Amino acid sequence: MRFPITSAILFASLSSVATAQFGFFDQMFGNHQGQQQQPQPHASSQWTTQAEAVPCSLYLCPDSLVCVSQPSECPCPREVDIKCIIPDAEDTKAGTVVCVRGTSGCAVVERFANAYSK
């Protein structure tokens, strides 16, 4: 009978130590019960709110929220970027817009476009 009582006491003392350890980790890593963090608004909902405030009946550029007549007229997101238009081989009115940065400008993009169009 002595062993089951000793085992019960040992188990109870170890479980209290384990509970104390987990309480320590909860405090260290921010799992504070009773303190609720305010949810951060999603970037998409902020973008939607800003986009709805811009009057545009044509095409609204997603990065800059500038109203243009077609997507290829959108400016690059950063002023230092250079806008390169790669013409579509089948549709002469269509193209792909690529924004690049650097001294070579559109030359690198045009080289890649020519290499893959063959």
**Tens-place pLDDT, residues 81-92:** 999 988 887 877
What is residue 16's DSSP assignment? Answer: H
- Model confidence over 48-76: pLDDT tens digits? 887 788 888 899 888 888 899 988 888 99
Residue 60 CB partners (closer than 8 Å, separation 6+): 51, 54, 66, 67
Q: Where do we find the tokens 């260290």?
A: 28
The closest of 101, 97, 106 to 75, measured between CA atoms, is: 97
pLDDT band at 10 (very low <50, low <70, confident <90, very high): very low
- Model confidence over 25-48: pLDDT tens digits? 555 555 555 555 555 556 677 778
User: Could you report how far apart the first and last alpha carbons of the chain are, in Å?
Assistant: 88
Q: Is the pLDDT of residue 15 over 60?
A: no
Run of H or E including 112:
helix 107-117
**Dist. CA 79–CA 68, nearest whole Å:** 17
